[in-house]
A and B are shown apart, each in its own frame.
Chain A
Amino acid sequence: MASNVEFKIPALRPYPEIPALQPDAMQSKGPFVAKPVMQTPLGFPGELVENWQEKAIEKMGELLKKYRSLQVYLDSCVKCGACTDKCHYFIGTQDPKNMPVARQDLLRQVYRRYMTLSGKVVPKWVGAKDLTREVLDDWYNYYHQCSQCRRCSVFCPYGIDTAEISMAAREIMDCIGLGQKYCNEIIGKVYKIGNNLGLPEPALADTLNGLEEDVKLDTGVDVKFPLDQEGVEVLLVTPSADFFAEPHIDGLIGYAKVFHQAGISWTLSSYASEAGNFGMFIGSYDNMRRISQRIRKAALDLKVKRIVFGECGHAWRVAYSFLNTLAGPFDFLDPKYPVPQHICEFTYDLIQRKALRLDKTANDQRRVTFHDSCNVARASRMGTIPGGQFIIPRAVIKASCNHYYDMPADTIHDQTFCCGGGGGLLTDDLIELRIKGALPRMEALKYVIDHHGVTHMAAICAICKSQFTKVLPYYGFEMDKIVSVHQLVSNAIVL
């Protein structure tokens, strides 16, 4: 596998240091472009419109009036260099355009040229550039080398968030007819079928029945995986990868066991059979809202009292930070609980109340570490105190395992490194980027393997899990080193 790729897998370095620049190391045409049939259902032109320059500038002007973040961030960068060594894609690829500030500058140079006095009068002095085809190609390529993980925004003295810039850039490109195939095709599937994977209701029902049988065989207990049941307590919205991918599905089994033991009735929805919301990746408020509204409708139709989200990083960002704004108010739900809740919050509460019987020794063959998913760590919260998103998943793991070890401090919590596949980049046409972008996480993992004999890395994000399953072997690790947090709960729970 590692032998038949035509690029070099980065070597794991014993002492990570800031790499030297390799200009244009990742210069390419970028990921596959969306076909007209994938563009139109999202409200975008099918292909690059004739007057794309004019339209792009016009769209940029519109976004500048709609998003204060964009306006402030394009103005405020002082080029101090603090962010230059913080992006996992820069560390892994050494391409200077993957330094957060340089990535922002791709948009900023055009902003300056068309919308600022200095860029109009002395463009060369301030690095302002005309929007040429070359610049557009750079946008397409390098704004699809950003996983919108926001690590740079933690370190920026003004909190400049490259995710906001790359979302705006993708929105501009979509609106002139230059969309990315992976994201836009998936959003189309959500509209047409209900989830990212295009799993129709009968297939979903079938999968869930199969899971009931599996768990029955495994434990002898009738653990239910209900679908479209009206009047239950909880609507569970989970990434569709949980329905069949490994190790995601083991997490889903974990959620079901938790619901079972807690005696709380729940259901999945075939209409909202997807927690993910790729509308965020493409920076489209309209599409993100439309996708979010499905969850509101499912909750209303199924007459539930609570909404709980499964393990998914960006879905949790949209759910925690945006859902109330995009699809609220949720005043028809039980006001005793936050809307929505994360499955880890849900399980953690039960653990606190001693409502779960967990036998930690069931995971004794594992020595576990935890990968903080970027969108959970830096763009959302769990529980009632800031930083709960770091405490709660670890508490759930520690309640299920005896052996837990954190990775080095500068690679976890709000300094966590992205898995390398987030932000709409989890596609095989970007495999080189994905492998190289995983380097810092792989080095941190190697550290705890060497120092603590860690055998497994747990995560609470469908994209992280898929990405690591694919990428771990390139670095010489077994692909099943990555596990779901609720997979550990599933093993430990005594039904």
Chain B
Amino acid sequence: MGFLTSFFAVWFYIATLILIGGVAYKIYTYATTPSPLKIPTMPAPLNSTGVALRLGTEVGLFASLFRSNKWIWLFGIIFHVALLLVILRHIRYFIDPVWTWVVLIQPFGKYAGFAMVVGLLGLLARRIIVERIRYISQPSDYLILILLLIIGASGLMTTFLAHTDVVQFKAFTLGLLTFNWQPLPIDRTLLVHLTAVNLLMMIFPFSKLIHAIGIFFSPTRNQVDNSREKRHLAPWAKAQFESTHPSPSPQTTN
């Protein structure tokens, strides 16, 4: 077993643990932090079906972003849809035999890599060219885009330019899952690809990438508009105000 195989195998486990643990911790934090007041951006849905629909259009179609800025929306949706296809396509490296639907999306997933890079380049260009976006950009905003571009470009290269031994690579990934390590094909492009992916997994919970989770917990988007019908008392507010000093009610004041 070569050094690189062991190195990437261990790193992959660590990165995966950080990703899963970090995201789980964030979800726990968001889920257990109360929203003490009703603050949906109005007009808001009157029931939870409506909220599911609202969140669905936000997550699936970027509805608010569409109203906001057509260019950001265009590049954003190209990148995200392409990324989704690419990720789904990569399922094939972790299962055997490959599910039919994963086989069916394979051609789309392969070419979605190009769309992903186009979307990323568009977003990067806006970040550099548009004065307002340049002003709000920090080094990490550029670095995350560049990291994703490296992932996209190196991935495309392994498919279209410098063919990687995918059979051997799949043996490696399946070996990771069964803790029965198999040699990693030594291919520079592939190593760049894996390095970037591991880095991305590791920074995901600690960076703005967590927006993928945050959207589901955003009170302005996930709350039902029913504040006149239902009280919405947070546990801390109840403890602070209503356990020791109950609100005056007709019985106690009259």
A7 is an interface residue with CB less than 8 A from chain B: no
Q: Give the chain B neighbours of A101 by CB distance below 8 A.
A: 136
Q: Give the chain B neighbours of A385 by CB distance below 8 A.
A: 46
Contact of B133 among A64, A79, A86, A325 (CB under 8 A): A79
Q: In the complex, are the beta carbons of A99 and B136 less than 8 A apart?
A: yes
Q: In the complex, are the beta carbons of B62 and A414 less than 8 A apart?
A: no
Complex CA gap A361/B127 in Å reads: 55
Q: In the complex, are the beta carbons of B231 and A328 less than 8 A apart?
A: yes
Contact of A84 among B26, B136, B143, B210 (CB under 8 A): B136
Q: In the complex, are the beta carbons of A293 and B247 less than 8 A apart?
A: yes
Q: Give the chain A neighbours of B234 by CB distance below 8 A.
A: 66
Tell me the residues in window 8-57 of chain B with beta carbons closer than 8 Å to chain A beta carbons.
Answer: 26, 29-30, 33-39, 41-46
Q: In the complex, are the beta carbons of B45 and A77 less than 8 A apart?
A: no
Q: Give the chain B neighbours of A11 by CB distance below 8 A.
A: none
Complex CA gap A127/B219 in Å reads: 26
Q: Give the chain A neighbours of B58 by CB distance below 8 A.
A: 157-159
Contact of B69 among A69, A81, A161, A386 (CB under 8 A): A81
Tell me the residues in window 73-104 of chain A with beta carbons closer than 8 Å to chain B beta carbons.
Answer: 73, 75-86, 96, 99, 101-102
Which of A42-50, A198-206, A374-382 contacts the other chain? A374-382
Q: Give the chain A neighbours of B38 by CB distance below 8 A.
A: 321-322, 325
Complex CA gap A327/B65 in Å reads: 36
Q: Min CB distance, A404 to chain B, in Å?
A: 21
Complex CA gap A387/B42 in Å reads: 8
Complex CA gap A215/B38 in Å reads: 40
Q: Min CB distance, A284 to chain B, in Å?
A: 12
Q: In the complex, are the beta carbons of A116 and B206 less than 8 A apart?
A: yes
A288 (CB) vs chain B CBs: closest residue = B37
Complex CA gap A116/B209 in Å reads: 14
Q: Min CB distance, A258 to chain B, in Å?
A: 21
Complex CA gap A102/B138 in Å reads: 11
B95 is an interface residue with CB less than 8 A from chain A: no
Tell me the residues in window 185-236 of chain A with beta carbons closer than 8 Å to chain B beta carbons.
Answer: none
Q: Min CB distance, B119 to chain A, in Å?
A: 12
Q: In the complex, are the beta carbons of A153 and B29 less than 8 A apart?
A: no
Which of B103-111, B157-165, B179-187, B221-229 contacts the other chain? B221-229
Q: Min CB distance, A270 to chain B, in Å?
A: 18
A138 is an interface residue with CB less than 8 A from chain B: no
Q: In the complex, are the beta carbons of A322 and B227 less than 8 A apart?
A: yes
Q: Give the chain A neighbours of B132 by CB distance below 8 A.
A: 18, 21, 81, 84-85, 96, 99
Q: In the complex, are the beta carbons of A72 and B227 less than 8 A apart?
A: no
Q: In the complex, are the beta carbons of A158 and B227 less than 8 A apart?
A: no
B34 (CB) vs chain A CBs: closest residue = A68
Given contacts A105-B136, A300-B253, A386-B225, contact A66 B30 (CB under 8 A): no
Q: In the complex, are the beta carbons of A285 and B207 less than 8 A apart?
A: no
Which of A118-126, A420-428, A447-455 contacts the other chain? A118-126
- Which of B139, B210, B228 has its CB near the most chain A CB atoms (within 10 A)? B228
Tell me the residues in window 293-309 of chain A with beta carbons closer than 8 Å to chain B beta carbons.
Answer: 293, 296-297, 300-301
Q: In the complex, are the beta carbons of A81 and B136 less than 8 A apart?
A: yes
Given contacts A65-B33, A76-B211, A329-B231, contact A387 B39 (CB under 8 A): no
B131 (CB) vs chain A CBs: closest residue = A21
- Which of B26, B42, B65, B67 has its CB near the most chain A CB atoms (within 10 A)? B42
B218 is an interface residue with CB less than 8 A from chain A: yes
Complex CA gap A31/B187 in Å reads: 62
Given contacts A117-B206, A118-B206, A154-B41, contact A66 B236 (CB under 8 A): yes
- Which of B36, B132, B143, B225 has its CB near the most chain A CB atoms (within 10 A)? B132
B64 is an interface residue with CB less than 8 A from chain A: yes
Complex CA gap A327/B232 in Å reads: 11
Q: Give the chain B neighbours of A80 by CB distance below 8 A.
A: 65, 69, 72, 76, 123, 133
Chain A positions 258 through 299: 1 when the CB is less than 8 Å from some CB of chain B, otherwise 0:
000000000000000000000000000100010001001100
A376 (CB) vs chain B CBs: closest residue = B42
A457 is an interface residue with CB less than 8 A from chain B: no
Contact of A125 among B39, B140, B231 (CB under 8 A): B140
Complex CA gap A314/B62 in Å reads: 29
Q: In the complex, are the beta carbons of A155 and B68 less than 8 A apart?
A: yes
A320 is an interface residue with CB less than 8 A from chain B: yes
B237 is an interface residue with CB less than 8 A from chain A: yes
Q: In the complex, are the beta carbons of B39 and A321 less than 8 A apart?
A: yes
Given contacts A75-B26, A81-B69, contact A158 B250 (CB under 8 A): no
A339 is an interface residue with CB less than 8 A from chain B: yes
Q: In the complex, are the beta carbons of A325 and B227 less than 8 A apart?
A: yes
Q: Give the chain B neighbours of A116 by CB distance below 8 A.
A: 206
Instruction: Other than A159-B58, A325-B36, give 10 A-B pairs with Cβ distance below 8 A.
Output: A65-B33, A71-B33, A72-B219, A96-B132, A125-B143, A157-B68, A158-B215, A386-B45, A389-B43, A390-B43
- Measured CB to CB, the residues of A under 8 A from B are 18, 20-21, 64-69, 71-73, 75-86, 96, 99, 101-102, 105, 116-118, 122, 124-127, 150, 153-161, 164, 285, 289, 293, 296-297, 300-301, 320-322, 324-325, 327-329, 331-332, 338-340, 377-381, 385-387, 389-390, 414
